[in-house]
Amino acid sequence: MNVTIVDYNSGNISSVINSFKEVAKDKVNIEVTSDLNKIKSSDKVVLPGQGSFKSCVDALNNISGLVDTLNEFAIDNKKPLLGICVGLQMFADVGYEELETKGLGWISGKVSKIDNQNGKYKLPHIGWNELNIVKDSKIFKGIENNSHMYFVHSYELIPNDKNVVSAITDYSSNIVCSIEKENIFGTQFHPEKSDKAGLKIIDNFINL
């Protein structure tokens, strides 16, 4: 089996690569690439994202054919794809970080700045926070409710259809921290930085 981590120059993804390789051991081939043919032929794709919504969308668009290839992979061919942090946020129709920026449009909704309630909550939201699992998700198999995950973000995904939400976390309000829609999965938290529970989520995705 081939799992491809999309490398589109969106910041440091070494911890994502290392954690996937640690979980995969020698059983699964982990490829890190922006080669369109390799992405197309892989069994699963991981879309990481660090930095701003706009910078990540721009970086995707800078590689000719990459957005079309991801659409073909996830939407047309319905193969499993996992978005991490801004990788998840880009599923939305639109994001409002820096400038209004069009997203991939896979999940109807928007990405807006977390309401920090006039400074009552620090932004970015950094550190460990509790996962409140609101629906069964294939990637949460063996994960206890209220497990702690590691977050670094100032913006949140607000989907129009709440049925795609698989977990929330309480920070200023109920923030969406994971989604599952058919073959598309996403986590706002960083599973690669979330200790054993995070590695278990990665393992669940690899073993889908």
- Structure tokens that stand for 134 in this block: 């609101």
Q: Is 192 tagged catalytic?
A: yes
For the chain, the 3-state helix, strand and coil shares in percent, each to the nearest 5, are 30, 35, 35
Contact (CB, 8 A) for 18 and 29: no
pTM: 0.97
Three-state DSSP class for residue 59? helix
List the one residue out of 80, 82, 204 whose CA is nearest residue 143.
Answer: 204
Candidate list 97, 156, 180, 192, residue with the active-site label: 192
Give the start-to-end residue ranges of the domains of the chain: 2-206
> What torsion do the CA atoms of 85, 75, 35, 5 make, to the nearest 10 degrees?
30
Q: Which two tokens stand for residue 5?
A: 């981590």
Active site residue 85: yes
Nearest to 162 by CA among 149, 189, 138, 180: 180
Of the residues 56, 97, 177, 190, which is catalytic?
A: 190
Residue 98: active-site member: no
Architecture of domain 2-206 in this structure? 3-Layer(aba) Sandwich (3.40)
pLDDT per residue as tens, the chain (208 positions)? 999 999 999 888 999 999 999 999 988 999 999 999 999 999 999 999 999 999 999 999 999 999 999 999 999 999 999 999 999 999 999 999 999 999 999 999 999 999 999 999 999 999 999 999 999 999 999 999 999 999 999 999 999 999 999 999 999 999 999 999 999 999 999 999 999 999 999 999 999 9
Q: Which residue among 56, 85, 97, 153 is the active-site one? A: 85
What's 69's DSSP letter? H
How far apart, in whole angstroms, are the C-alpha atoms of residue 131 and residue 168? 6
Q: Residue 24: exposed, middle, or buried by beta-carbon count in 10 A (0-12, 13-18, 19+)?
A: middle
Q: Are 70 and 173 in contact (CB under 8 A)?
A: no
Q: What is the token pair recorded at 26?
A: 């020698």
The DSSP letter of residue 20 is H
Tokens of 131: 């996962």
